[in-house]
Structure 1
């Protein structure tokens, strides 16, 4: 959910201002450029996530290309990720966000409801998802950020309006600030260090192999 409402007319100057903040960070700037380029694909007059049927089909195809199952119906009828499959009745950006979660998740949590992070906002049956949560707090927030940016970059790969998810997931909440810059650069560097990004800033199909004790704690070091 977007925390800071943004008018569509304010997006170009906001994007330009954030790009300027990245002039001394080559990889982060290349990553952001891939997201910013998708401003050209914005359809309509609002900053609402895409619900285009073609975008949805492409997102489902990408989910399946990673070997993840797809279940028809909304996550409100169960879980967003049940340990084997994603619920299909989601916006395209949310579907590719689940790919990001699958990639950065510890191998032992890929078969756990909602990746062991607790119930997501779309999950309908929350108690069982919360009961199997093993990563919460700061570490959970960090993994969420990694999955968020990786999913946004997959949306850019599909030539879909990734900039909308970037805004909706609050990467620029409060504007082009030094705090937002620092957070973005940190997450880009983490993704790169673990092989989730190419030198050009494009997402790879790397899947995490490290356990939580090795991976997440190293990110906080």
Structure 2
């Protein structure tokens, strides 16, 4: 993870040195995250799927143009990931919510496409590195009359802190505003205890953002 972060930092520094234009901005938006196919153990015989939950992201970013059409976008973001599950039937009535906060450093290559009316499109593809800073897993309710209510530290009791993944998205530029949609897919296992016979957890996140370029 440290080698990946160093490589990304050197790449960014190299682009800054060659840049024809650099613009800075702020960005914020909503997340819809999950841990893909991972099943979190609730009791000795019952699992919960950490499916999609809503969170938010916010941070600062820069666009580094290498030539007229191509550039690099990077930044530093606070982002909320994790997942949740809710079941209500005759034998099960519980809720599980996993909230994880990360600092995330993305690096994406983009192309600027100019459209009529001063509209700009920015399709982008890249990678990110993340570090978990805080989180909780909370469960409440019961399964077959067994109380499963508890609270755990996300990174101390369940997850590894470092995350790496791929990111792809598109932004629409209108004057100084950017409206974006993107998808992040982690490639590093989240759960610290590896699961051999079932699916391990990987961060998955759809996000919508609004940014402003100064």
- TM-score clears 0.5: no
Structure possessing the higher radius of gyration over alpha carbons: 2
The answer to which structure, 1 or 2, has the higher relative contact order (CA under 8 A, 6+ apart) is 1
Range into which the TM-score falls when normalised by the shorter chain: under 0.3
| Greater strand proportion | 2
- TM-score normalised by length of structure 2: 0.25
